[in-house]
Amino acid sequence: MSEPRERDSRSEPWVLVRFVTVGIASTLAYLGVSFLLFHFAVAAASATNVIALGAGLSVSYLGHYYFTYRRPGRHVRFGSRFIAVTTFMLVASTAFTYAAVDYFGVSAYANTVLIAGLYPLCSFVLHHSWTFLPE
Cα dihedral sign for 13, 19, 20, 25?
positive
Residue 2, domain member (yes or no)? no
The predicted structure's pLDDT at residue 88: 95
User: Domain tally for the chain?
Assistant: 1
Q: How confident is the model at residue 66 (pLDDT cuts 50, 70, 90)?
A: very high
In a domain, 72, yes or no: yes
In a domain, 95, yes or no: yes
In a domain, 1, yes or no: no
Range of the domain at 100: 9-131
Which residue intervals of the chain are DSSP H helices? 15-39, 45-63, 75-97, 108-126
Tell me the pLDDT tens digit for each residue of 41-62: 887 777 888 899 999 999 999 9
Identify whether 3 is part of a domain: no
pLDDT digits (tens, 9 = 90+) for 80-110: 999 999 999 999 998 999 899 999 999 998 9
- pTM over 0.85? The answer is no
Residue 112 lies in a domain: yes
Burial of 103 (0-12, 13-18, 19+ CB in 10 A): exposed
